[in-house]
Amino acid sequence: MYRFFQKLLYILYLNDAKAVLWRRLHFTNSGYFVIIAMAISVVLSIDPKMSMAYQILGFLAVILMVAFLYSLSFKVNFHIKRLLPKYATVEHPVYYKILIENISKKKEVGLEILDIFKDLRPTFDEFIGSNLNSRFQPFLYHNWHWLIKRKAHNVDLIPRQLPTILPGETIEVQMQLTPTVRGRLGFATILIARKDPFGLFRATRKIKLEDSIIVLPKRYEIEEFKLRGSRRYHRGGVALAAFTGDSEEFHSLKDYTPGEQLRFIDWKSLAKTDKLVVKKYQEEYFARHALVLDTFGDERLMPAFELGVSIAASFIATIDDSECLLDLMFVENDVYCFTMGRGLGDKINSIEVLASIALCKDKGFSVLVSSVESRVHLLTSIIFVFLAWDKRRKALVDLVRATGLDVRVIVVCDKKLNNVDEALPFDGLVHMIHTDRALEDLKRLSIR
């Protein structure tokens, strides 16, 4: 019964959001004024002595009906192209262009344009998980409104006025939005609108034009730091450092000498030259660091998780990987390790990965422990970004420290959730970053 009530309320909120969007797109401020005046007239007309109220109500109803009927004849014949950058960043304005070509034979005057995203209404899981501290708080309308606003990317649903467009003319419209949520932001349609002569109602025509832009996590300014640790021997060199096993990096060819392993013979060269040659491999020493992002928790940890993702992205952008390798490690639906540095991978690619990362809900923390433990022998140092500080996470840190690696720990602290066990020792390697003063805490962060 409780589950049925959840789904019913979710469906009601979905339809309400759809109706609100329709009203905001079609009615102007003057149109809202007319509707309010009609409502007042209906109330006043209860008194039979208020005959003027009937007249006002009838007059306003006729005007509104004419405005609606006028909109039915609206048609446009445009070819539209949207020019988007590949990336945007949370809380940073992004500018893009829309090209509009009038392929009709008539001049278009008094038009407006609005870019419509793909459905940004919360999913059922987001709705239910919006606040797990209370059994009934997720059903309050202000929670739904907060979820809608959070995903709306600070876009004001006010159509932008277009200049007069002559037949065959192409115009360029500058658009702006400020993303508020990381991930892939999808565009669905272009809305072309025109007001009726009374300025009450907008006639609209949708032109389907799907596009997308990747919104990268917010990044903070972190003082440039150097990771400690000496270089280690890596069999196979840099080119194969992202893989495990005994593979080696090809360097050159040389003549075969008796006693060399047959698996190093280049059989293709033998077929061409009828001469035995073997492949020579390069082996190198270099520093390799790991950035381990904690993804374990429920929806209550979303603010801490979003901050953790931003901190990880900030580290990636700050660390100088020209002379070392950096592994980004996390667990989602699988265990992932992305290697960058020394030509192996680009920083922007790893930050792009963080743009779509989500909390891990179907695996235990032991999966991350096993993954880190299996790679410790390759690493020089590790930076942990934890969403909490408890016995499991401290045990992982102690496990890595016992190997002699240099370890630094970032713990995202949310006082509302009490996600930090004050009884556990912090030592000097644990840095607390509070969700309510992240910028201030990160300015004091120093990892040397």
Contacts of 170 (CB under 8 A, 6+ apart): 99, 100, 101, 102
Q: Which residue has the higher pLDDT, 298 or 370?
A: 370
Do 315 and 359 belong together in one domain? yes
What's the rounded Cα separation, in Å, for the pair 175 and 188?
15
Contacts of 176 (CB under 8 A, 6+ apart): 93, 94, 95, 96
129 close to 298: Cβ distance less than 8 angstroms:
yes
In order of 117, 175, 241, 322, the CA distances from 249 in angstroms are 47, 48, 9, 19
Do 256 and 293 belong together in one domain? no
- Residue range(s) defining the domain that contains residue 186: 2-26+68-216
Supply the pLDDT for residue 49: 67
Do 276 and 299 belong together in one domain? no
Q: Which residue has the higher pLDDT, 357 or 155?
A: 357
Supply the pLDDT for residue 80: 94
Is residue 292 pLDDT above 50, yes or no?
yes
Is residue 270 pLDDT above 70, yes or no?
no
Q: What phi, psi does 328 have (nearest 5°)?
A: -95, 120
Is residue 271 pLDDT above 50, yes or no?
yes
Domain count, the chain: 3
Q: Which of 282, 305, 337 is the last residue of a domain?
A: 282
What's the chain's length in residues? 448
Give the least confident one: 3-7, 253-257, 412-416, 420-424: 253-257
Q: Which residue has the higher pLDDT, 10 or 225?
A: 10
> Does 370 reside within a domain?
yes
Supply the pLDDT for residue 253: 64
- Which letter does DSSP use for residue 2 in this model? H
- Identify the band that residue 209 occupies on the pLDDT scale cut at 50, 70 and 90: very high
> Does 296 reside within a domain?
yes
Do 272 and 354 belong together in one domain? no
Is residue 242 pLDDT above 50, yes or no?
no
Distance from CA of residue 116 to its chain's centroid? 18
| pLDDT, tens only, 310-365 | 999 999 988 877 777 889 999 998 999 998 876 666 788 899 999 999 998 888 99
Do 199 and 310 belong together in one domain? no
Is residue 174 pLDDT above 80, yes or no?
yes
Across the range 178-184, mean pLDDT stands at: 88
What percent of the chain has a predicted confidence (pLDDT) above 90? 33
What's the rounded Cα separation, in Å, for the pair 60 and 274?
96
Across the range 136-162, mean pLDDT stands at: 68
Do 7 and 156 belong together in one domain? yes
Q: What phi, psi does 311 have (nearest 5°)?
A: -65, -45
Is residue 226 pLDDT above 90, yes or no?
no
Residue from 132, 141, 145, 218 nearest 438 by CA: 218
What's the rounded Cα separation, in Å, for the pair 418 and 416?
6
Give the least confident one: 23-32, 121-130, 248-257, 353-362: 248-257
Do 411 and 382 belong together in one domain? yes
Supply the pLDDT for residue 50: 66
> Does 186 reside within a domain?
yes
> Does 239 reside within a domain?
no
Is residue 241 pLDDT above 60, yes or no?
no
> Does 240 reside within a domain?
no
Q: Which residue has the higher pLDDT, 88 or 242?
A: 88
Residue from 324, 314, 294 nearest 226 by CA: 324
> Does 243 reside within a domain?
no
Tell me the CATH number at 317.
3.40.50.410
Contacts of 115 (CB under 8 A, 6+ apart): 82, 98, 155, 175, 177, 187, 190, 191
What's the rounded Cα separation, in Å, for the pair 235 and 9?
59
What's the rounded Cα separation, in Å, for the pair 157 and 29?
13
Q: Which residue has the higher pLDDT, 307 or 20?
A: 307
Is residue 193 pLDDT above 90, yes or no?
yes
Do 81 and 172 belong together in one domain? yes
What's the rounded Cα separation, in Å, for the pair 35 and 24?
13
- Identify the band that residue 90 occupies on the pLDDT scale cut at 50, 70 and 90: very high
Is residue 418 pLDDT above 50, yes or no?
yes
What's the rounded Cα separation, in Å, for the pair 351 and 316?
7
Supply the pLDDT for residue 233: 46
> Does 352 reside within a domain?
yes
- Identify the band that residue 243 occupies on the pLDDT scale cut at 50, 70 and 90: very low
Across the range 250-257, mean pLDDT stands at: 63
Mean pLDDT, rounded, of the chain = 81
> Does 84 reside within a domain?
yes
| pLDDT, tens only, 120-148 | 777 777 777 655 444 445 456 667 777 77
